C-alpha cells in the first residue's frame, strides 16, 4: 500500500498538537515578538494554597485555623514584612526578595466560584474570560493576535494536552522536553519528499526537527543517536531518553530561547493539589518552583533578566481551615508570584481581606479582593504596551482593570 502523507503522520506520531501539563510531561510554548521585554507565564496546576506560600502569621485568626499547618518565623517560615512569612521551600528565592526582584499578590482569583473543579478552574484561568467558553482561544494568544509585527512560527510536540492560554489563531512554537522527534536520514528524506509540495507541512516538519535537535543537544545526545539507518517506517521515530529534571530542562530551554528572538514563554508546574500531608507535598513543589525561577534567571543573564517579568498563577486557592488529613481542600482566593528585574518586588501587593469568619468567602475560603486577570492585564500594559481598551475588550473581554496596582517598575 502506498505510504501517503496522512498515513506517514499517523504511523510515526511525529507531529501533533502541542502538549500541555500532565503529571509526567509539561511542554513549553514560545512566541517571538518585536518588543524588547520578556514575559514568562507559569501555570501552577492544582490549586496553590495562598496561606502556605504567604503565611499571614500577623493575622490573629491564622494559627487557630491551622493547628498543624500554621507557619511564620517561629515555625520555619521566613519573615518578609512583619505580617507575612514565606514558606521555607521558597528559601532559595530570598536573595531575589532582598534585591526586590521577587514579589507577590495576595487574595486574587478568576471569576470562577463555588464548583471548584480543577478542569473548569484552569480553563477559565487560561481563557481569561468571565465564564467558560468551550473551544475558545487563550488570553496570551489573543494578545499576540492584536499586537502588530508579531512573528509566528509553528512546530509540533508529542504530549498529552495543551497550554490553552496560548491556544488560538496566532500560531506559536511548542517544545516538549521528554519526547523529542528524531528521524533516520532515510525517514527525514522521505518526509521531506512527501511534503515538498505542501509549504505548511514542510515548514512544520523543518521546525519540529530543529526544536527537537536542540532538545536532544540539551540532553547531551545527538539528534540521531541510536538510529539504525535500515529501520522500517514503523520505527522512524524514537523518543530521546529523559535525563534530569523536566522542570529544569524546560527552564534552561526557555532561557536559551528568551536570549534570542523569543519574547513570550508559557509552561506549567504541577503538584499543588494538597488534600493530605500538605507540608511534604508543598515543600517539594516549592523547591521545583524555586529551581525553575533561578534557572531562568541564570539562563537569560543579567541584562535580559532586568527586562523580564515572570508571572506564576493558579486556578484557585484552598480552604482556610486545614482538614483532618493535614491538608487543605479546594478553595477560592489564591496568590500570584512575580519575579524578574522588571517587577516591583520586595513587597506583597494586594488587599488583605482578613481571616475572621465574617471575612471569609462562603465562611470557608480566603475572600478574593482582586481579579487575577486585572493583575495580568496591568503587566501586559506596562511590560509590552498593550492598549488598555484592547486588554479590557479583547484580551480579557469584559474586564474592568481598575487602578494600576503598581506591579512593575
Spatial distance between the Cα atoms of 89 and 282, rounded to a whole number of angstroms: 8
What end-to-end distance do the CA atoms of the chain give, in Å? 63
pLDDT given for residue 245 in this prediction: 80
343 shares its domain with 376: yes
Over residues 68-81, the pLDDT tens digits come to 999 999 999 999 99
Mention every residue, 6+ apart, whose C-beta is less than 8 A from residue 176: 19, 25, 26, 27, 28, 157, 158, 159, 215
195 pLDDT above the threshold of 80: no
Which phi and psi angles does 104 have, rounded to 5°?
Answer: -145, 160
366 shares its domain with 339: yes
Mean pLDDT of 213-222: 45
Spatial distance between the Cα atoms of 90 and 77, rounded to a whole number of angstroms: 9
Higher pLDDT, 135 or 305: 305
Which CA distances in Å does 11 have to 7, 18, 189, 306?
A: 6, 18, 16, 46
Question: What's the angle, vertex CA 372, arms to CA 367 and CA 377, rounded to 5?
Answer: 150
pLDDT given for residue 202 in this prediction: 60
Over residues 222-266, the pLDDT tens digits come to 433 333 333 333 333 323 333 458 888 889 888 988 998 889 889
150 pLDDT above the threshold of 50: yes
CATH of the domain at 96: 3.40.720
Region of poorest pLDDT, from 12-16, 63-67, 131-135? 12-16
165 shares its domain with 256: yes
Spatial distance between the Cα atoms of 356 and 385, rounded to a whole number of angstroms: 40
213 shares its domain with 282: no
pLDDT given for residue 210 in this prediction: 57
| Structural domains counted in the chain | 2
3-state secondary structure of 79: strand
Mean pLDDT of 199-217: 54
pLDDT given for residue 6 in this prediction: 41
Over residues 41-75, the pLDDT tens digits come to 999 999 999 999 999 999 999 999 999 999 999 99
pLDDT given for residue 203 in this prediction: 59
pTM above 0.85, yes or no: no
Which phi and psi angles does 86 have, rounded to 5°?
Answer: -95, 140
pLDDT given for residue 26 in this prediction: 61
114 shares its domain with 200: no
% of the chain beyond a pLDDT of 90: 58
Mean pLDDT of 102-122: 95
Q: Which residue has the cell 513549553?
A: 28
108 shares its domain with 128: yes
Assess if residue 5 is contained within a domain.
no
318 shares its domain with 184: no
Over residues 269-282, the pLDDT tens digits come to 999 999 999 999 99
The whole domain housing 198 covers 180-241
202 shares its domain with 301: no
Region of residue 166 (phi > 0: left; psi between -120 and 50: alpha; otherwise: beta): alpha
Output the average pLDDT for the chain.
81
Mention every residue, 6+ apart, whose C-beta is less than 8 A from residue 198: 5
Q: What 8-state DSSP symbol labels residue 128? A: T
Amino acid at each position: 500500500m502506498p505510504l501517503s502523507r496522512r498515513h506517514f503522520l499517523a504511523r510515526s506520531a511525529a507531529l501533533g498538537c502541542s502538549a500541555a501539563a500532565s503529571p509526567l510531561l509539561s511542554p513549553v510554548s514560545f512566541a517571538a515578538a518585536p518588543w524588547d521585554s520578556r514575559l514568562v507565564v507559569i501555570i501552577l496546576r492544582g490549586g496553590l494554597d495562598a496561606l502556605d506560600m504567604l503565611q499571614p502569621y500577623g493575622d490573629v485568626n491564622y494559627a487557630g485555623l491551622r493547628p498543624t499547618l500554621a507557619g511564620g518565623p517561629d515555625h520555619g517560615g521566613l519573615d518578609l514584612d512583619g505580617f507575612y512569612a514565606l514558606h521555607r521551600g521558597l528559601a532559595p528565592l530570598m536573595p531575589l526578595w532582598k534585591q526586590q526582584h521577587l514579589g507577590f499578590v495576595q487574595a486574587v482569583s478568576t471569576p470562577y466560584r463555588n464548583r471548584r473543579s480543577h478542569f473548569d478552574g484552569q480553563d477559565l484561568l487560561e481563557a481569561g474570560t468571565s465564564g467558560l467558553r468551550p473551544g475558545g482561544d487563550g488570553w496570551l494568544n489573543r494578545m499576540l493576535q492584536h499586537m502588530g509585527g508579531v512573528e509566528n512560527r509553528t512546530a509540533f510536540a508529542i504530549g498529552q494536552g495543551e497550554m490553552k492560554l496560548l491556544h488560538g489563531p496566532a500560531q506559536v512554537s511548542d517544545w516538549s522536553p521528554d519526547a523529542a522527534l528524531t528521524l533516520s536520514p532515510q525517514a527525514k528524506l522521505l518526509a521531506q519528499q512527501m511534503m515538498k509540495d505542501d509549504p505548511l507541512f514542510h515548514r512544520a516538519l523543518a521546525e519540529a526537527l530543529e526544536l527537537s535537535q536542540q532538545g536532544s543537544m540539551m540532553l547531551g545526545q545527538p539528534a540521531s543517536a541510536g538510529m539504525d539507518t535500515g529501520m522500517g517506517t514503523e520505527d522512524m521515530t524514537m523518543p530521546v531518553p529523559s535525563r534530569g529534571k523536566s522542570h529544569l530542562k524546560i527552564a534552561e530551554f526557555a532561557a536559551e530561547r528568551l536570549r534570542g528572538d523569543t519574547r513570550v514563554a508559557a509552561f506549567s508546574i504541577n503538584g499543588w493539589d494538597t488534600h493530605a500531608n500538605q507540608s511534604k507535598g508543598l515543600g517539594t513543589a516549592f523547591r521545583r518552583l524555586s529551581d525553575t525561577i533561578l534557572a531562568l534567571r541564570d539562563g537569560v543573564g543579567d541584562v535580559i533578566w532586568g527586562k523580564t517579568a515572570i508571572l506564576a498563577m493558579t486556578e484557585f486557592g484552598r480552604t482556610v481551615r486545614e482538614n483532618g488529613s493535614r491538608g487543605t481542600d479546594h478553595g477560592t482566593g489564591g496568590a500570584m508570584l512575580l519575579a524578574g528585574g522588571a517587577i516591583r518586588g520586595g513587597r506583597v501587593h494586594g488587599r488583605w481581606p482578613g481571616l475572621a469568619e465574617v471575612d471569609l468567602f462562603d465562611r470557608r475560603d480566603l475572600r478574593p479582593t482582586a481579579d487575577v486577570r486585572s493583575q495580568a492585564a496591568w503587566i501586559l500594559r506596562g511590560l509590552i504596551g498593550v492598549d488598555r481598551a484592547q486588554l479590557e475588550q479583547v484580551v480579557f473581554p469584559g474586564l474592568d482593570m481598575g487602578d494600576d496596582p503598581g506591579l512593575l517598575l
